[in-house]
Amino acid sequence: MQTGLTRILMVVACSGVLAAGCAGDNRPSGKPETMKRGAANDNKVILFVIDGPRHTEAFDDPAHTHVPRMWDDLRMQGAVVPQFFNNGRTLTNPGHAAIITGTWQDIANDGSERPTKPTLFEYYRKAYAVAPEETYVVSGKGKLDVCSYSTHPDFGAPFGATESVGFEDDQAVFDELTAILRKNKPRLVLACFPTVDRTGHGRDYGGYLAAISQVDSLLHQLWLFLQDDPFYADQTYLIVTNDHGRHDEKNGGFANHGCACDGCRRIMFMALGPEIKAAYTASDDYDQRDICNTVAEILELSVLHSEGRVIEEIFKAAP
């Protein structure tokens, strides 16, 4: 794939030719026009975070009983990374903060601390003067409002995302998300679905499995919604992941999470979008921090403080 940086360099090279007075430059004064600020391209990204399913009830289940839409339909249109991990703290706020900053974030899990490194929202809004309502955090859990901006001195609240948080269940998050997509047309969204985690902590195994099935269906509905909306169709990247898994059977079972067992660390990664390979299974291992750099590649951002890397292998080769 042609990288965002390559594209930017090519634009700079062409501008240089025009400035030197080539035949295509018809502007009367010869001065460059004021550059119109805005996003670098038409790409949109939605990060769809399912809070705390365990891989054994999701992609590692040989029958894929609870994730049929993801496994049978969406996977065939996109790319999955089978070996994908939270290698930081396997709790909700640290996990979401790792996704949105590309760094391991040892922050409180009660919503009292913001990430210390810049979020994707801040990089995006600072680079392109994107309006506040063009970036959103939509979350069932109210404590995830901290993902809207960081405490980093070069960034912070002036570049933060709009927040809409505190919803009872995944259906309510979905309804709010689609209402915002219709009305505000955001270009970068972090959407956080809480019900799998809540039913798990409630030790309701049947409810936990039902929640995985429901969010699987909501994800599919969202993809159809996006393809039916001219602002999003064929320009939107949907990335599905988790903040953490849950304990494997040797380490306490499905009810809780938070340690470094394989069940807690192992999470989903699936991506769909115009430049993403179809029916592709990645061969390398990646972790949560790599989401930040991969989104940055799509939106043509420089994410200086991120420790991740672009998941290059999921993108189609340059034509």
Q: Smallest distance from the beta carbon of 92 to Zn ion, in angstroms? A: 3
Q: Smallest distance from the beta carbon of 219 to Zn ion, in angstroms? A: 17
How many residues touch Zn ion (CB under 5 A)? 10
Q: Which of 45, 47, 49, 52 binds Zn ion (CB under 5 A)?
A: 52
Range 217-246, binding Zn ion (CB under 5 A): 243
Which tokens belong to 258? 């938070």
Q: Smallest distance from the beta carbon of 54 to Zn ion, in angstroms? A: 9
Residue 255, Cβ density class (10 Å: 0-12 exposed, 13-18 middle, ≥19 buried):
middle
Q: Smallest distance from the beta carbon of 261 to Zn ion, in angstroms? A: 3
Near Zn ion by CB under 5 A, which window of 26-34, 47-55, 184-192, 266-274? 47-55
Contact string (CB under 5 A) for Zn ion, positions 158-197, x = contact: ---------------------------------------x
Cα–Cα separations (whole angstroms), residue 67 to 60, 172, 265: 10, 20, 19
Q: Smallest distance from the beta carbon of 251 to Zn ion, in angstroms? A: 4
Q: Smallest distance from the beta carbon of 207 to Zn ion, in angstroms? A: 16
For Zn ion, give the closer residue by CB, 191 or 261: 261
Rounded (10°) CA dihedral 99, 2, 45, 80: -60
105 is a contact residue toward Zn ion (CB under 5 A): no
Query: What are φ and ψ of residue 229, in 5° steps?
Result: -115, 120
Contact string (CB under 5 A) for Zn ion, positions 250-289, x = contact: -x-------x-x--x-------------------------
For Zn ion, give the closer residue by CB, 248 or 300: 248
Near Zn ion by CB under 5 A, which window of 91-99, 125-133, 166-174, 296-304? 91-99
Q: Which residues bind Zn ion (CB under 5 A)?
A: 51-52, 92, 197, 243, 247, 251, 259, 261, 264
